[in-house]
């Protein structure tokens, strides 16, 4: 049961409460806001917002992260509340039984579909380290063109794409979209600064436009059932910045694409 969090005092603000998307037994999924780290790291010593520590204080029990989302990525994050649950859920990821669906806003207009099988070397690996297999499928959702010159281009062209990673390498979606020459808007490492700055000013939000929309896996407590967890873009409480983005003049790739996106790209029943 979730422990009620009381304000500490009138002078000290209460710790933020992470939205719970699903909670059953010793497994829980939350919505990770953009800009939060999953756990403390010396690589970002100035950050103060950590999912693991905040959720531990919110629930009053130890929390075990099962997978990771980049600091800039928002959306579904699955956690365990016991070592046994952590082992069970981790085994699902290792067996590639977990299906993840992301949405990203990218520069340019990519093809309707793309299958990227492009091995990646870990970011912190030495140059002679072998690359690891990495596979991602992409599907175009919508295109947008604005008559505003940015950088050397006479127009600003962006697209919304659905990303379905088959493997789980670090920064895989970001690096594969860069490989396609369609980097994610807001990606300071792999994208274009001029485009990132223009869209930050246009939308009033400076962030990585990548969202973990849904996650599907074998139900951890009921045999022969699948569990589908979503952080819907239709929720103003969870995803107000994405709703602001969707107000732009998008041309949807096919009938029903917008409705499917708002329902978090969940698989058909």
Query: Tokens standing for 179?
Result: 């490989």
For the four alpha carbons of 256, 242, 112 and 168, in that order, the dihedral sign comes to negative
Query: Tokens standing for 136?
Result: 């991602």
Q: Phi/psi of residue 67, each to 5°?
A: -145, 180
Query: Tokens standing for 223?
Result: 């045999």
Q: Phi/psi of residue 174, each to 5°?
A: -60, -45
Element (H, E) at 244: helix 236-246
Strand duo 135-146 + 113-117: pairing: antiparallel
The CA distance from 63 to 86, in Å, is 9
Where do we find the tokens 């983005």? 245
Instruction: Please indicate whether residue 11 is annotated as part of the active site.
Output: no
Query: Tokens standing for 266?
Result: 């969940």
Query: Tokens standing for 96?
Result: 């590639």
For the four alpha carbons of 257, 263, 264 and 266, in that order, the dihedral sign comes to negative
Catalytic residue among 44, 57, 70, 84: 70
Q: Phi/psi of residue 32, each to 5°?
A: -90, 120
Catalytically active residues are 70
């Amino acid at each position: 049961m979730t422990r009620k969090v009381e304000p500490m005092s009138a002078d000290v603000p209460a710790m933020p409460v992470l939205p719970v998307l699903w909670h059953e037994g010793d497994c829980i999924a939350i919505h990770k806001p953009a800009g939060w780290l999953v756990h403390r790291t010396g690589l970002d010593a100035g950050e103060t917002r950590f999912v693991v520590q905040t959720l531990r204080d919110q629930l009053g029990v130890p929390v075990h992260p099962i997978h990771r989302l980049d600091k800039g990525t928002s959306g579904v994050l699955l956690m365990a509340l016991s070592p046994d649950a952590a082992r069970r859920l981790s085994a699902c990821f290792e067996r590639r039984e977990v299906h993840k669906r992301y949405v990203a806003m990218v520069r340019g207009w990519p093809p309707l579909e793309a299958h990227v099988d492009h091995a990646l070397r870990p970011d912190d690996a030495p140059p002679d380290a072998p690359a690891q297999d990495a596979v991602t499928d992409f599907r175009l959702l919508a295109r947008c063109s604005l008559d505003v010159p940015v950088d050397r281009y006479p127009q600003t062209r962006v697209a919304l794409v659905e990303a379905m990673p088959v493997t789980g390498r670090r920064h895989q979606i970001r690096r594969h979209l860069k490989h396609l020459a369609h980097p994610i808007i807001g990606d300071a490492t792999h994208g274009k600064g001029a485009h990132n700055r223009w869209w930050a000013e246009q939308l009033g939000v400076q962030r990585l436009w990548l969202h973990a929309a849904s996650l599907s896996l074998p139900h951890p407590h009921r045999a022969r059932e699948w569990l589908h967890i979503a952080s819907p873009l239709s929720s103003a409480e969870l995803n107000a910045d994405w709703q602001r983005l969707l107000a732009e003049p998008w041309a949807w790739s096919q009938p029903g694409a917008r409705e499917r996106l708002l329902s978090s790209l969940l698989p058909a029943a």
